[in-house]
Structure 1
Amino acid sequence: MKSSVNLKWTGNMSWETELFGHKLVLDAGTENGGEDKGPRPKPLMLTALAGCTGMDVVSILKKMRVEFEDLQVIVEGDMTEEHPKYYEKMHVIYQFKGKDLPMDKLQKAVSLSEEKYCGVSALYKKAIPLTTEIRIVE
């Protein structure tokens, strides 16, 4: 299966694409000659990981009939100081909100996402250390 994106330069440091009918604009910050019209490319790597694993975990927990009030997936990336700057490691925090949440099922859902379903996680793990943490907020 092949995928592709077509990113079109729209002037200065700004770029635009359409993904599944959704317009996405990328730009640099004003400190780097852009106009801050959209997000920077590298933080979207963190977003891709959070979205991929988050969707997996929600789907798995629904099948397990685990109900929770809220879930936030926080991805922290440590970037190198030297060019080319890239994330040298990432840490994923799954922050659940709810009462009497079964930690064993939360861990199972996160583990299944990380080891079996999330393609973003699978790719990143080949290049950098990827760690996880589960937090419960009642």
Structure 2
Amino acid sequence: MEFYIKGEGIRTSFDYGELDISGDEMNGFRPFQLMVASIAGCSLSVYRKILDKQRIDYEDITVQANVERNTEEANRIERVSLRFVVKGYHLNQDKLLKNLEISRNNCSMVQSVKDSIEVEESLECIQLSR
């Protein structure tokens, strides 16, 4: 990866497209947003793969990420709380929780930050009827 100065921010390019990074949201994504997006995105992606492999009948999965930062220490991220909401049919909450733990252990981003950022996960199941 190569990064370079572009206006008031930093830019890099990938096969998918360009990414602008800046401490000012008017000029790009803020670094902490990218960190949280990496953690949440990886976690959700791994969780989805696990549910798909097990043929769990879900309609939708969303993740709400809440971030706690320490202003005394360079505004560092100290905790990311991920709230998974699974909507589906005949959901087994115990099985979904177990799969969430499996996903945590297999998410490269969660594992990469485990000794520096606390990552918490919670689950809400919404049962749909047909």
Residue 21 of structure 2 corresponds to which residue in structure 1?
26
TM-score of the aligned structures, taking structure 2 as reference length: 0.88
How many residues are paired up?
Answer: 127
Q: Going by fraction, where is strand more abundant, 1 or 2?
A: 2
Structure 1 gaps of 5+ residues are: 30-34
Q: Which runs of 4+ in 1 moved over 4 A?
A: none
Matched, 1:16 2:6: no
TM-score of the aligned structures, taking structure 1 as reference length: 0.83
Q: Could you list the per-position Cα deviations for residues 33-65 of structure 1 after superposition, in whole angstroms to 9, with x for gaps in the alignment?
A: xx7132111111110011111110110001111
Alignment of 1:36-47 (within 5 A): 36-47=26-37
Q: Following TM superposition, by how much is the alpha carbon of 1:19 offset from its aligned partner in structure 2, in angstroms?
A: 2.5
Percent identity, aligned pairs only, is 25
Amino acid across the alignment from 2:41:
G
Residue 116 of structure 2 corresponds to which residue in structure 1?
127
Q: How far, CA to CA, are the matches of 2:91 and 2:110 in structure 1? A: 25
Q: How far, CA to CA, are the matches of 1:6 and 1:74 in structure 2? A: 31
Matched, 1:78 2:68: yes
